[in-house]
Amino acid sequence: MYGNPTCLFPRHLMDLMPILWFFVLLSVDVTKQDRSDDMWDALTLRYRQWVKLPRTSHEAERQGYTRQNDICKTNSVSKYHGFLYKQQDDTKALPIYDLNGWIAGIQAMIPGNMNGFNSMNESIPLPHIDVMPPIMIGDIVDGIQMYTVTAYFKHPKLICNPIARIGITLGKGLYIQMGPDPVTMYQQIAMHAKDLSPIWKPGSCIPSMGLHYFRNLSKDLPCEKIYPVFLMYDTEGKLGAFGWSFQGKPMDVSSSKISWFRMTPQTYAFTFDTRVLPTCMFHEEFRIFGIHIWLQPHDSPKMTCPLVIQEPPTGSPVHKPSTINYTNGPKDPVITSRPVDDTNAAQSVSRLSSSMILISVATVTLLQFVTFQANLLS
């Protein structure tokens, strides 16, 4: 009787087991096993069209990108870690891959032959020393001194040493290179808006882009100090995208699929709260150009910038108070039906149904077992 435990189960119950396991497996959420903790979902860019960065160096090679360096820790003029890939003469978006060939960062190059304006409306050569770093001196291409900005999607130490573990944040992130050695010279960007230093000032919220933050932007900021990095956070306050923005008007001769966004004083209102811009930005020749890089999918409901529902005076404790005024954007904010709540509701429904399946399976098993015990005892 105690020899073979399977003999304890009657035949009809054994036959049922595969079906029970099928239901148990169905209710296990396998989607949780993806690389989402490790890797950003989107990594897309847009200007005129959406462009997704190749996820691996192999995919990049298939798409016609060519590798620019052979050693992971470069020590040429332009110092960065990882393998930089370039598609034809596109200097706007150069993906960087780690030692294992996974997407790990992005670099942009801007030409050093541009002029702009300082706080006194005087003409100055660009880029200005006050924004170096994060702008760094790059290579000379076709006789023009290029400058670079580089961002990594995980801790820079992991790029050339994927098994590094000690003293660093693992998983996806955003790190801006701030010197020749990215392992020690970087700016780690807050994953959540609530952890941002107050030096980051909120600007407009733009549907599909999120709420913009600009570093130290105020009426008193000298124009030569306009920071080349800006950040975008979703309705839950999570980092959703970032961008480069530079003063100047680059010649664009490349055959690149992607164009820079370009702004003039007339179009600032698209991204900036024009009430806080320094007057030097309103010089009629002043130009801003740059690029947006999405970390989260741009069509995610969390990136829609819903109209903030103002607190009722009695304020029930369930609702979080709205601290940010989203109404200063260029367009009327889209009125949506609180997508965050909808998602949560949908999630709890699916969670409820999996729990129901689990409970049913458990009940059936228990009933079968009790019946079997009763049969044994009788």
CB of 134 to ligand NAG, least distance (A): 13
| Binding of ligand NAG by 279 (CB under 6 A) | yes
| Binding of ligand NAG by 130 (CB under 6 A) | no
Place of tokens 């903030």: 308
Token readout for 213 is 């933050």
134 prior amide bond cis, ω within 30: yes
**CA gap 67, 189 in Å, rounded:** 27
| Binding of ligand NAG by 145 (CB under 6 A) | no
Q: Which stretch binds ligand NAG (CB under 6 A): 7-15, 63-71, 276-284, 357-365?
A: 276-284
Q: Which stretch binds ligand NAG (CB under 6 A): 140-148, 178-186, 274-282, 334-342?
A: 274-282
Taking a C-beta distance cutoff of 8 angstroms, is the pair 82, 160 a contact? yes
Nearer to ligand NAG, 63 or 327 (CB): 327
111 prior amide bond cis, ω within 30: no
**CA gap 23, 358 in Å, rounded:** 8
| Binding of ligand NAG by 169 (CB under 6 A) | no
**CA gap 105, 286 in Å, rounded:** 30
Q: Which stretch binds ligand NAG (CB under 6 A): 44-52, 153-161, 216-224, 344-352?
A: 216-224
User: 264: number of CA atoms within 13 Å, CB side?
Assistant: 3
Pick from 66, 88, 325, 348: which binds ligand NAG (CB under 6 A)? 325
Evaluated on CA atoms 262, 266, 267, 270, the torsion sign reads positive
133 prior amide bond cis, ω within 30: yes
Taking a C-beta distance cutoff of 8 angstroms, is the pair 72, 159 a contact? yes
Taking a C-beta distance cutoff of 8 angstroms, is the pair 201, 213 a contact? yes
Per DSSP, helices labelled H in the chain are 11-26, 57-62, 157-160, 339-377
Taking a C-beta distance cutoff of 8 angstroms, is the pair 188, 169 a contact? yes
Q: Which stretch binds ligand NAG (CB under 6 A): 161-169, 180-188, 215-223, 267-275?
A: 215-223
**CA gap 65, 47 in Å, rounded:** 19
CB of 320 to ligand NAG, least distance (A): 14
Nearer to ligand NAG, 66 or 279 (CB): 279
Nearer to ligand NAG, 141 or 199 (CB): 199
CB of 55 to ligand NAG, least distance (A): 36
Q: Which stretch binds ligand NAG (CB under 6 A): 84-92, 218-226, 242-250, 350-358?
A: 218-226
Instruction: Write the binding mask 183 to 202 for ligand NAG: x where contact by CB under 6 A, - elsewhere.
Output: ----------------x---
Nearer to ligand NAG, 82 or 237 (CB): 237
Tell me the sheet residues that pair with 124: 116
| Binding of ligand NAG by 264 (CB under 6 A) | no
Nearer to ligand NAG, 92 or 212 (CB): 212
Pick from 100, 121, 344, 347: which binds ligand NAG (CB under 6 A)? 121
Instruction: Write the binding mask 72 to 111 for ligand NAG: x where contact by CB under 6 A, - elsewhere.
Output: ----------------------------------------
∠127-260-269 over CA atoms, to 5°?
A: 90
Instruction: Write the binding mask 346 to 375 for ligand NAG: x where contact by CB under 6 A, - elsewhere.
Output: ------------------------------
**CA gap 97, 152 in Å, rounded:** 10
Contacts with 325 (C-beta within 8 Å, 6 or more apart), sequence order: 308
| Binding of ligand NAG by 123 (CB under 6 A) | no
Interface residues with ligand NAG (CB under 6 A) are 120-121, 199, 216, 218, 220-221, 279-280, 282-283, 325, 327
